[in-house]
């Protein structure tokens, strides 16, 4: 795992994700999930590329089933992009790196107060 990716759990989720001053991409995954293992190196690479502009964290759904339930995770991998404590984008399944970059760039280009 990249040093720019951290694991969170129910105790650290509020501080690391909901109260973050920067957008946070959360990877809800499981160790037994093949597509999750395919996504892991892409997620690490993106974390390095977007360092300083966005945070990247992972949640193991088997170790944190309450978080998975709260955010209605029904398939893994599921990527949720949080801004100001709210989910602003959701990606379920594996996407190629370029498509993920497009989604992240679009989210970063959108002003935080655009939709209030």
For residue range 11-31, what is the model confidence (pLDDT) as tens digits?
999 999 999 999 999 999 999
**pLDDT of 34-79, one tens digit each?**
999 999 999 999 999 999 999 999 999 999 999 999 999 999 999 9
User: pLDDT at residue 100 above 50?
Assistant: yes
Of the residues 24, 33, 54, 59, only one is catalytic, namely 33
Give pTM, 2 decimals. 0.93
Tell me if 76 sits within 8 A of 38, measured CB to CB. Answer: no
Distance, in Å, from the CA atom of 46 to the CA atom of 111, rounded to the nearest integer, reads: 21
| 54 in Cβ contact with 24 (< 8 Å) | yes
**43: nearest Cα among 68, 11, 76, 65:** 76
Looking at 8, 24, 25, 36, which residue is catalytic? 36
Q: Are 107 and 83 in contact (CB under 8 A)?
A: yes
Q: What pLDDT, on a 0 to 100 scale, did the predictor assign at position 116?
A: 43
On the question of a cis peptide bond just before residue 22, with omega within 30 degrees of 0, the verdict is no
User: Catalytic annotation on 33?
Assistant: yes
pLDDT bracket for residue 112 (50, 70, 90): low
Q: Which domains does the chain have, with CATH numbers?
A: 5-102 (3.40.30.10)
**Omega within 30 of 0 (cis) for the link into 10:** no
The answer to whether the beta carbons of residues 3 and 47 sit under 8 Å apart is: no
């Amino acid at each position: 795992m990249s040093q720019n990716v951290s694991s969170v759990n129910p105790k650290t989720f509020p501080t690391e994700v909901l109260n973050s001053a920067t957008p946070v991409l959360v990877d809800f995954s499981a160790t037994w999930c093949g597509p999750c293992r395919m996504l892991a190196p892409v997620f690490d690479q993106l974390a390095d590329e977007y360092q300083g502009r966005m945070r990247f964290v992972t949640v193991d759904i088997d170790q944190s089933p309450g978080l998975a339930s709260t955010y209605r995770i029904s398939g893994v991998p599921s990527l949720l992009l949080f801004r100001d404590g709210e989910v602003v984008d959701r990606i379920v399944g594996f996407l190629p790196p370029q498509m993920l970059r497009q989604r992240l760039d679009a989210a970063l280009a959108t002003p935080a107060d655009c939709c209030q």
